[in-house]
Amino acid sequence: MCGIVGLVDFTLRSTNKQLTAMRQTLTHRGPDVQNSVWYENPKQVLGLGHTRLSILDTSSLGDQPMIFAYFSIVLNGEVYNFQEIKEELLKLGHSFISNSDTEVVLHAFAEWGTECVHRFVGMFAFVIYDQKQKKLYLCRDRVGVKPLFYYWHLGIFLFTSELKAFHEHDGFEKKINKEALPLYLKHGFVPEPKSIFDNVYKLESGHWLTFDLEKQTLSKSQYWNIEDFYKQPILNISYEDAKVEMEDLLKSACQYRMVSDVPVGVFLSGGFDSTLVTALLQKKSSSRLKTFTIGFPDGENEAPFAKEIAEYIGTEHTSLDCTEAEAKSIIPDLAYYYDEPCADISTIPTILVSKLAKQKVTVALSADGGDELFAGYDGFKISIDQLNRIRKIPLPKILGVFLSIFSKLILYRNVSLKKKIEGISAVLRSKKPQQFETLLKNSSGMPSFYLKKFLKKNYEFDTNVSLKDKLENINDERNIQLLKSFTGSLKDLLLVKVDRATMSESLEGREPLLDHRLIEYAAQLPYEFKQDGIKSKRILKDIVYKYVPQSLMDRPKIGFDLPIFKWLKNDLSFLIDEYLSEESLKKTDCFDVDEVLQTVDDFKDGTLQYNDIIWRLLHFQMWYEKWVK
């Protein structure tokens, strides 16, 4: 795991010193070694920088930037099956000086060009400079586990693993993206490819970006798309056979993520997903696996369950009860770790468990993705039930028009009722193939009509995180919700949360449930294998029961809850007083000051219907103070 950074400057003003300053902001991602390469010619200067967290081949032979022939590479992440690819390349005449996956990626690109990525099993963001063709190639893994930002404006091209690096270049303009801020307010994150800043983009997952330095043009191509697999026919397979195949895929995905020359552990929450990963790995291991849990006794707390499961499986378990003071101490630093606003309160425990794990390991497996792939959230079943009830309503179009008119009479103070009526109306007026997507758009996040009042009039308000293709071709209508959850909150919120939290502690986080082979298979399974109307994540749970008694697992899903809004009304109220004050809001110049101040009053007296808006506004203001002012 590492940090990558680089620049191409056609104005010839950039210096190697600037590149070094950019690179140094990413030292936490790679504290072991920091290096750069610098190229100059009459048309442009170009630099590649790298900060290394040594995982595979910890010798200096694995350092980056790495050069082979006329190719140079910087890579963040891991290609787990590099040994198999290396064997193939050796037969083709390639030779290697290291046991690094980066060297294999570089040779694979030299041999197969951009097609090489189809051979990779892993998580990665890498940039390759082809000095002969005068082209820069940027690539991001299929799911988007590893981040990659780029900036292109007034003759300057920059790229980085984290936005903070751009602030060290004097050509970077810090201008708020007026399309991104409304999206952040609605969802709590900014979806790819947008960024909170103008002229900054996230390279979409599963994409290549090619920068032709001679023509000064950018071109993108997609090499993998999860939607393609939700359009494949549903597999004609028995449940028992599917279980066997799924378990084999899970074992392979987990074993690949144990490839390391440094100690590896697992985040164990006690839920089904992390228990499954832990059980599969411990079964195969001759030594005790290291597992880690953070507990919060003053909130809803799964730590005692995680301890029971660890004892049953036989891991070397470390659990730490987090105090209220420890949790609160993280909040002032969130804007630094999350240098693009990311309003997920669970960033706090994720940082804390990363601190705990780093004391004993350098790599930690996290079990994200199970809910999105196998219908684990309660809301999935609720949405399907809601749609079925709405579809039974007679004269839907007439009633839909009536409800649309009626919703306009509902006062904004009754925002929950107004949102519900507008949502039902929109579904009733939609054609059947679009009804489920319409329901999901209108039920997810805070309503646009409510959020619009917080923003100044010059902000554009298109807040739908939409899918890229027609949804009529999805193999099962119910999979639309899984697909939207995967392409939205998982990629742009949950994976961002884990990447920045682990990397803040120089810890590599790996995601076995997001192996692309497993994702592709799950997309084609009958929906009833995932959610049968009674049991969510059915196939995963039935595999878990082979390793851990059902009596240990069957309990309500509670997660890790922090009473953040209670704190903000009491001993953290000074944060609201400071960052959501009239003076602070006027400095930011993004929000309608009177509306925000009224909302703060509503929060304090307990009449606010959407408390999340307070955290999103507060987090943005803290971020703005850190990175923009």
CB atoms under 10 Å from CB of 265, counted, come to: 25
Sign for the pseudo-dihedral over CA of 143, 144, 146, 152: positive
C-beta contacts of 479-482 below 8 A and 24+ residues apart: 479/230, 479/523, 479/527, 480/436, 480/437, 480/440, 481/375, 481/380, 481/383, 481/384, 481/436, 481/440, 482/230, 482/372, 482/373, 482/375, 482/380, 482/530
Quote the Cα angle for 559-561-566, to 5°: 165
Alpha helix positions (H), 292-346: 303-313, 324-330, 334-337
Q: Judge if the upstream peptide bond of residue 193 is cis by omega within 30 degrees of 0.
A: yes
Interatomic CA distance for residues 369 and 371, integer angstroms: 6
Interatomic CA distance for residues 54 and 59, integer angstroms: 8
Interatomic CA distance for residues 426 and 420, integer angstroms: 10
Interatomic CA distance for residues 395 and 400, integer angstroms: 9
CB atoms under 10 Å from CB of 300, counted, come to: 12
CB distance 149 to 200 below 8 Å: yes
Which structure tokens are listed for 168? 């060290």
Going by C-alpha positions, the residue among 529, 517, 511, 532 that lies closest to residue 273 is 511
Which helix (H) or strand (E) segment holds residue 40: the answer is strand 33-40
For residue 405, the Cα-to-chain-centroid distance in whole angstroms is: 38
The residues assigned a catalytic role are 2
CB atoms under 10 Å from CB of 382, counted, come to: 11
Rounded to the nearest 10°, the torsion over CA 249, 253, 254, 257 is 170
Query: How many CA atoms are closer than 13 Å to the CA of 306, on its beta-carbon side?
Result: 30
431: three-class secondary structure by DSSP: coil
Report strand pairing: 45-52 vs 2-9: antiparallel
Interatomic CA distance for residues 563 and 342, integer angstroms: 18
Who contacts 85 (Cβ-Cβ below 8 Å, separation ≥6)?
79, 104, 108, 119, 120
Interatomic CA distance for residues 214 and 212, integer angstroms: 6
Q: What are residue 138's phi and psi, to 5 degrees?
A: -110, 135
Interatomic CA distance for residues 142 and 520, integer angstroms: 11
Interatomic CA distance for residues 246 and 251, integer angstroms: 9
Going by C-alpha positions, the residue among 57, 50, 6 that lies closest to residue 29 is 50
CB distance 282 to 289 below 8 Å: yes
Which structure tokens are listed for 21? 């300053």
Task: For residue 254, give Cα distances in angstroms to 121, 423, 518.
Answer: 12, 41, 11
